[in-house]
Structure formats: C-alpha cells, structure tokens
Structure 1
Amino acid sequence: MSLSALRPAPPRASLREHVHQALSAAIVSGELEPGTLITVPTLAVRFDVSATPVREAVLELEKRGFVETVRNKGFRVTAVSDEELGHLVQVRQLLEAPAMERLAGRVPEDALPVLEALADRIERGARDGDLRAYLEADQEFHLSLTRMLGNPVLTDSIADLRSRTRLVGLASMKESRHLDDSAAEHHELLRALVRGDGREAHAVMVRHIRHATGWWAGHGEEDGDAHVDVGPDVAGRRAADPAAEHDAETAAEPAAVSVPRR
C-alpha cells in the first residue's frame, strides 16, 4: 500500500486515535507489508497533522508488536511467523466457535436488521475491493455477536486476538474469489444462529477462521489446516475418533465462554 492512500485526519476526531486506527488497519490488512519503513515526519505530512499524535500512535503500535524501531531510520512493520499465526488461530477457534454455538437461538430479533446490514457491508467491501470497509464491518459484526453473550472479558479477549491476527495476504485476495467466499460466510453464520443450530454455528465459525486465516496468510484454502496446531488433547481425540471432533472442541471451551443462559 502506498502512503498516499492514507486519508487526512477528520478535524474533530482524536488525532492520535485516527492515525492509530488507520495505520493498524493498513498493517492488519497487509496493505502496509512486513518490512515497510515508516517515519513520523512522513506520516505527519500524509495525515496533515503535527508530529506529536503520529509519534504517540506509532509508539502504541510498537507496544502491540506491529512495528519495531530502526535506528536512524524510523520504524519497520514487523512480520508474523506461521507459528505465531497458528497459535492465534488456535485460541480464536477455542473462543469464538463455542461462543457462537452458545449464542445460537439467542440473537434478539430486533438486532437482526443491523447484523444483516453489516453482513451486506462486508460483502460489498469484498465486491468493491475496499479492504478498510471490509475489515471495519467484519470487526463490528463479530464483536456485536460476541457482546450478546454478556461477557465483557470474552469480548475484550476476542477483540484483542482479532487485532493481532495479521492478514498479510488479504490485499491479494481482491484478485480472486476468496474474499467474496469469506464474506459470504457471515450470512451463513447468521442463518445458523437464527435457526438455533449451535452445532452448525460452531462448524461455520471454525471453518471461517481456518479458511480466512489460511487465505489471508498467503496460503491456499487447502493449506489452512496445516498452519493451525489444535493442541495435543484435541488432536489426540480426533485421531482416535474422528466423530469426536466437535465434542473435543466443545470440551476445550474456556471458562470465559461459560456464561449463564438468560
């Protein structure tokens, strides 16, 4: 991604937050690729702001591990290894899939129009190749669903994991059908939730995370499983009894997902 694509900050927004969000989205989407050098003066000119909010935003990104200091040059966008991505995918599957299973049949009817609209925005972003719009709607969709479980610790944990999942191959997906396929899975998940089909919601969420992170990491759909270490307990039970895959994943559900049914 060229820095020319970064938009100036809106006048009444928190400048630091605006710069942080814009850079974070560019790094997460892979538009700012690993190894890219950025400098505070260049970014300040691009965003049409002073150096102070830019420096604060970049230092926050450094704390998150998105960039690293390069002496006398500025900051460099860091890379994420397949091993680290696999760890993030594993934890996301263990949290998000059981959460969606628990939510099945409990989505308030008055929330459906908003969720449908978000799923439509995700598909529109994919169709138009607008990665920023795609990611913003995707984040809002998934976190809106998670909040319905009433567990802020779970919501914050998933939000943090999603923000750390670097999608280095996302930009290249615009040239293939994969971004459209990933977008369509949001409507598929919503239909399962509305039907009250927890097992299907669980399966869709596992597949969505596996497929999307496989594509976004630059691997093919068929390579997604190869980069996800599901852990020895779950893997062993699957090997012994393939039919126990769903039960093994559900048994590994963390306590954060165990919220009382309303």
Structure 2
Amino acid sequence: MNASRIAPIALYQEVAERLRQRIFSHELPPGTWVDEQALAEHYGISRTPLREALKVLASEGLVTLKPRRGCYVTEISERDLDEVFSVMSLLEGECARASARKASESDLTRLRAIHAELEKAAAATDIDGFFEANQAFHVALQQIADNRWLLQVIADLRKVIKLSRHHSLFSEGRLEQSLVEHREILQALLARDGERAEERMRTHILSGRAALARIAGAKLPASTGA
C-alpha cells in the first residue's frame, strides 16, 4: 500500500453528508421517521454504512436514535432554540472580542468587503445574498479569533439551529435590523474595542432568536435583565 496515498472518503461519511443536506433543506423535516430500508435501496448500499451515517448525525443532534425502533429527524423546540441561541451569543461574542484584538489590517479589509456585500444585498432586499454575506462575516470572525474549539462548538450548534422550520430574516424588519447590528459590530472591530464588539455580537445573535420567535408566534420569557 502506498502510504502517501490519500484514502477516499468513507462511504458512511458520504451518506451522512447527503442526509445532512436533505435535513437542512427540510426534504426530511423534523419529526420524520427515517426509513432505513428505503434509504438503503435509494442509495444502493447496505444498511451497515447507512446506520454508521445515522450514528454520525445522531452525534450532531440532527437525528434521534431509538433503540430497536430506528430513528427520526430531531424536532427542535422553542426551549431548545432559547438555550442554543443563549450559548451561541456567548461563543460568537467571544469570537468578536478576540477578533477585535487579533485582526490584522488585511483581516479588517476583508471584513469591510464582506460588510459591503451585506449593504448591497440589503439595498436590493436580496435575502439569499444577505444570508450568504452574513454567514461569511461570522465565519471570517471565527477564523480571525483562531480558536479551533470555539469553531467546532459553534459549527455543531449552527447545525442544530438549521433544524428550525423558520429563518429569522423573513421576520418583518429583521433584515434592516440585522444590517444595523452588523454596522455596529464592524465599527467596534475597526476601533479594536473588544468589549463593545462582544456586546454588540451578543445582542445581534439574541435579536435573531427574537425574530424566530415572532415568526413562530411564540413568546420569549420576560427578560430579567436591565
């Protein structure tokens, strides 16, 4: 065997990725029972790699395994979203704080360029374009923060958030509000004000949660803070 040769992606990993995308697109919506036999036949594989793939998705919280009964796509509750967004606000806030300290001039130039795409998409009411630029901005901050543990946990939590049936940017006025929040985050980063960047990012994440709650018609618990 050639030790320098890169092994191909294991079959179960490819199956896991295909199922992951079907879950994220809601082709397999939350609560759907996974028909192992039908999927195995659809992909032309045995149940062994399929079950290994489902174990991977279960570890990510995307499916829930039931011993001797199979599994179903995880249903995320309003309480789940409250708790996940609360943790996300802390983690992404830390990324913003660290980025304000670590960012090079080229990093800041990149953030300005991404923000320009946000402004452009908002002006055109291009929700898809805004979402992509928004994701790019957050990923850039995570890369600048350069903490692989933060990146890993944030990535896992974002997978869970994708189980939500709604998208915060479809809440009336949310796109404009998000743009203002991004402007404030960028200003804090350019000023290298870590505390302000963290505070603005946490507000931004929690505003996204509030927008989802409005869409779902759910009421958030009354705030106990100032």
User: What TM-score do the two structures reach when normalised by structure 2?
Assistant: 0.66
Aligned equivalent of 2:200, options 190, 200, 204: 204
Q: 1:168 aligns with which of 155, 160, 164?
A: 164
In the TM superposition, residue 210 of structure 1 has moved relative to its aligned partner by 0.8
Aligned length: 216
- Displacement of 1:50 in angstroms is 3.4
Contact kept, 8 Å, 1:105 with 1:195, in 2: the verdict is no
- For the residue of structure 2 that corresponds to 1:68, the secondary structure is strand
Residue deviations 1:15-37 (CA, integer Å, cap 9, x gap)? 54454345435545766432123
In the alignment, which residue of structure 1 is the partner of 2:214? 219
Partner SS state of residue 38, structure 1: coil
Q: List aligned pairs for 1:189-200, cutoff 5 A.
A: 189-200=185-196
Q: CA deviation at 1:66?
A: 1.9
Provide the C-alpha distance between the structure 2 equivalents of 1:128 and 1:178, rounded to a whole number of angstroms: 13
Do structure 1's residue 111 and structure 2's residue 104 form an aligned pair?
no
1:90 aligns with 2:86: yes
In the alignment, the residues of structure 2 paired with residue 53 and residue 194 of structure 1 have an alpha-carbon distance, to the nearest angstrom, of 48
Amino acid in the other structure paired with 1:104? A
> How far is 1:174 from its partner?
4.3
Unaligned runs of 5+ in 1: 1-11, 229-234, 243-262
- Cα pair 1:15 1:49 within 8 Å, conserved: no
Residue 138 of structure 1 and its aligned partner are, at CA, apart by 5.0
Distance in 1, Cα, partners of 2:186 & 2:99:
10
Q: Whole-Å Cα distance in 2 between the matches of residues 36 and 101 of structure 1? A: 39
User: After superposition, what is the alpha-carbon deviation per residue over 1:129-155, rounded to whole angstroms, capped at 9, x for unaligned?
Assistant: 559x947x6555424313323433333
Q: Deviations over 1:104-139 (max 9, x none)?
A: 2542222345445555379859955559x947x655
1:78 paired residue number: 74
Offset, 1:100 = 1.4
Native 8 Å contact 2:99 2:189 kept in 1:
yes
Paired letter, 1:20: A
Counterpart of 2:143 (choices 132, 141, 147) is: 147
Cα distance between partner residues in 2 of 1:37 and 1:122: 41
Does residue 1:56 correspond to 2:52, yes or no? yes
| Gap runs ≥5 in structure 2 | 1-7
196-205 or 110-119, which moves further after superposition? 110-119
For 1:124 and 1:14, the matched residues in 2 are separated by 39
* Identity within the alignment, %: 30
Give, in whole Å, the separation in 2 of the partners of 1:83 and 1:110: 40
Report the CA distance shift for 1:153/1:204 in structure 2 as closer, same or farther (over 3 A).
same
Q: d(CA) in 2 for partners of 1:130 and 1:42?
A: 33
Task: Say whether 1:24 aligns with 2:13.
Answer: no
Distance 1:211 1:142 in 2: 15
Task: Please show how residues 221-240 of structure 1 align to structure 2 within 5 Å.
Answer: 226=221, 238=225
